[in-house]
Amino acid sequence: MTRYIRNRLVSAVPVFFGITILVFLMLQVVPGTITDLMGEQGVSSAADKAALEASLGLDRPLPVRYGAWLWDLLRGDLGNSYASGKEVSGLIAQRIGPSLLLTGSGVLLAVLIAVPLGVLSAWKPGSAWDRAAGVLCLVSFGVPGFFLCLVGIFVFSVVLGWLPSQGMYASGVYAGLGDLLHHLILPAGVVCLSGLGDLVRQTRSACLETLGEDYITTARAKGLSEGAVMVRHVLRGSLIPVLTTVLTHIPHIIGGSVVVERVFGWPGMGSLLFSAIFSRDDPVIMGVTVVIALAVLLTNLLLDLIYGLADPRVRYEEG
Amino acid sequence: MKRRILPLLLALALVLGLAACAGPNQEEAAQTVVRCGLSNAWDSLMPYNSPSGSNYSRIIYDKIYDRLAYVHADGTLDPRGADSWESADGGLTALFHLSEKAAFHDGTPVTAQHWADTIALLTDPDCPTLGRGAFSVLAGTDETGAAVEGESLGAQAVDTYTLKLTFKTPTTPEDFLLDKNREYYVLPTHLIGDTPASEVMELELWNAPVGSGPCSFVSEVAGSQIVLAANPDYQLGAPGFDQLVITVMDKSNLLTSLIAGDLDYYAFGGNASVEDAQVARQAGLEVLEGTVPNTFYELMLNNASIPSAEIRRAIGLALDKDALCLQSTQGLGTPTATDLTPGTAYTSPFTWSRDVEQAMELLRQGGYDGRTYKLACTSNRSGLAALMQQNLGEAGIAVEIVTVDSATLFSGMSEGKYDMAIASHTPGALPLWFTASRFTQDNNIFHVSDLAPYTEYISQIQTEQDTAVKQALVERFQELLVSERPFIPLWFGTTLHVQSPTVEGIDYPSSSFCNENVWDWVKQPG
């Protein structure tokens, strides 16, 4: 097992660097740099632009710039934001908590709703539960997150006045758990609804597949109640695809939800990435990419390890 | 075991639910907070180190740092850091009599020496400042704004509260303020001490800046939220609130948050389109109609790829500016033949009219070969570009639309990749607000082959003191622009301002010009 983890980690290294090279190159392919946004559009002088390029090191050849960035990364330095001048690691540290809270609670809520609903709709196809699951899937897949945000704000903030429409705290700083949760409900609800469809569908189809297995017939023949069959056997047998879907949300949790964070003014990783892209803040884009890439690679490893725990048939070969 | 889990989960849900419903704590309730929305992020909190130099950054600096004057939307000026000003030495010098009540947030009085030291620091060639060009109008600096060795810098403290600025060419204090006020801030040079100029931008001070503006810094989530406290000792009066919280959020949620009561105001000046204004009115909010133009639209032309003035003029004549203006401003704009801002002291006799026949004739004269021009625009202006494409097509000019983001658009224009591009700007009251910075060797964004005729007029207008002669020069310069057509002025737009239901005293129209009178803002109770 240890050897397996070690091998997987070693094989992840070139993938990780491949991702960074790809993103770095993509940023260079896009025309324009932060210097083109300098001053009031179209009025910055060539001298001002040149000074900014020199101060940011943009006048160096591409391989030199990537090499410098990589060298800094290996020393644990993600560089400084072109826009604010602040350390990228500090910016990420400031934003990762709110993202974890928002997307994490949204995904958790989605799991708590989707798994029972998926099991119920598989257990009783055509029932009210099944139809409700179908409607939820339709909304989740068919309605863009941006629109869900606006509908949520209109209904719960403007019409009903129950929930705040923006921000993380009422007065800009932490003022108690109540205030935080009050601000969290609406954006987390949107994140939950956006991810719900995938989870419900996966759970339902995995359960339906398991229900057709011989050992389920055996369990029923032994006289187990339907509830016990569903929970002890069907759900456990369906765990791998469900777990896969849930765990693939981890990078999303860490990376934040760009649309939801942007609309609600939530200070997370998604809104950081959004601003960085529009202001051509390459170090921030690279920094967020590093975090998300690491999250994806570690999630994949975690998934493989959890498969073994969830399904005894999965074994890790030595060597 | 199973029986215990369910009550535990229910209890947890109950606790969380109750917590969610809990009201604010007492300390928070005692604070009067003004919540403001902004659709884009600012960058550095050091005002002379902003890569974008955008209005989104300036509107933050406007709160923390002090400026010499307050510029109203109609171009009139009010005292701010300076109580009064006067011209001297035949217009080569301006004396600013600073407010004796002004103080930094650490209690240190703001003196003329602070201003002079600030300018000396930023014009020091070793100081890695951005936007040093703002100082190039001062004597003793080169065209980039860097101090010239051996020459006396045009910023001196005459006495404790009198700042003397010396210009390269005669400039009235009013013209200087209209042009540069938003780029001149006083820094707490007493806190910078002996730090070498080359290391000034690395100071920790800029992470928690100390200024002398109407608000002091409290905390920041860079690019997302900034919390400022009212400066009770501000020389123009203490703002009528305790804290100002500015949050970056999507444009689509600004008005809804104002209606929902989760925002008190949004920059700039609660701008709203005609449809949004209708929604605001239906929600019971008052909407103010702006009277001073706050946007200027132009069609940038690449004079290198469209070298014929006849073809450039033909493009101007083929455009239906009325329809374009209506599409963009929904009735809140006026098509224009020049870049002179309506309502200001300078006028031009030129008027605009569409003439497709004449455009076709000019195309023949200019030898248009039927080539397809690339028209660049940002995605929010693709409808406008399509209408332009249709207008130009009626005159026989083929256009391909390229939708890009802002940085790509300006880099493409400056590299000559596009033939034309749609851009908008915040207009100014001075006659050269648009042209002076766009017809220089250093910034020849229109790729004009011979800048001399333009720079000659610009120089003459800048140095002329007699208003009547200046007006005549402006007219002749406009005549040159009309005949050469290096860019096409499209229209000036005004806006609608959705008024804050909870904050009184906001000067909405002036917000578009990057200053907000926060010292007059009063948050209403309840």
Give tens-digit pLDDT for B99-136.
999 999 999 999 999 999 999 999 999 998 887 888 99
Measured distance between the N- and C-terminal CA atoms of chain A, rounded to whole angstroms: 10
Decide: residue A316, CB within 10 A, 0-12 exposed, 13-18 middle, 19+ buried: middle
Token readout for B55 is 């209005």
H or E stretch including B63? helix B55-64
pTM of the shown model = 0.85
Rounded to a whole number of angstroms, the CA Rg of chain B reads: 26
User: b/e string for B105-140 if b means 16 or more Cβ within 10 A?
Assistant: beeebbbbbbbbbbbbbbbbeebbbbbbbbbbbbbb
Measured distance between the N- and C-terminal CA atoms of chain B, rounded to whole angstroms: 50
Q: Chain B residue closest to A165 (CA)?
A: B257
Among B215-224, B265-274, B343-352, top mean pLDDT goes to: B215-224
Mutate to test the interface with A, among B43, B60, B438 (most CBs of A within 10 A): B43
Dump the DSSP string for B7-32: HHHHHHHHHHHHHHH----HHHHHS-
- Provide the mean pLDDT of chain B: 91
CA distance B209 to chain A (A): 13
A272 touches chain B (CB under 8 A): yes
User: Which residue intervals of B161-273 are DSSP H helices?
Assistant: 173-180, 189-192, 254-260
Q: Please tell me the class of the A97-310 domain.
A: mainly alpha
Residue-wise pLDDT tens digits, B69-93: 999 988 899 999 999 999 999 889 9
**How far apart are alpha carbons B367 and B356 in whole angstroms?**
16
Token readout for B257 is 């948050």
B255 touches chain A (CB under 8 A): no
Tell me whether strands B420-425 and B295-301 are parallel, antiparallel or unpaired. Answer: antiparallel
Token readout for B355 is 């003439």
pLDDT tens string for chain A (319 positions)? 788 788 888 888 899 999 999 999 998 888 777 877 775 544 566 777 777 788 788 888 999 999 999 999 999 999 999 988 899 999 999 999 999 999 999 989 999 999 889 989 988 888 898 999 999 999 998 998 899 999 999 999 999 999 999 999 988 788 889 999 999 999 999 999 988 898 899 889 988 888 888 888 898 888 888 888 888 888 888 888 888 888 887 777 777 688 999 999 999 999 999 989 888 899 999 999 999 899 888 888 888 887 777 666 666 655 4
Residue B398, strand partner residues: B372
Domains for chain B: give ranges and CATH numbers: 66-207 (3.90.76.10), 215-292+496-523 (3.40.190.10), 295-493 (3.10.105.10)
**How far apart are alpha carbons A210 and A216 in whole angstroms?**
8
CA A27 to chain centre: 22
Contact state of B219 with A279 under an 8 Å Cβ cutoff: no
B35 touches chain A (CB under 8 A): yes
A77 touches chain B (CB under 8 A): no
- Say what the pLDDT of residue A180 is: 94
A165 touches chain B (CB under 8 A): yes
Contact state of B407 with A32 under an 8 Å Cβ cutoff: yes
Contact state of B445 with A149 under an 8 Å Cβ cutoff: no
**How far apart are alpha carbons A111 and A105 in whole angstroms?**
10
Residue-wise pLDDT tens digits, B128-144: 888 788 899 999 999 88
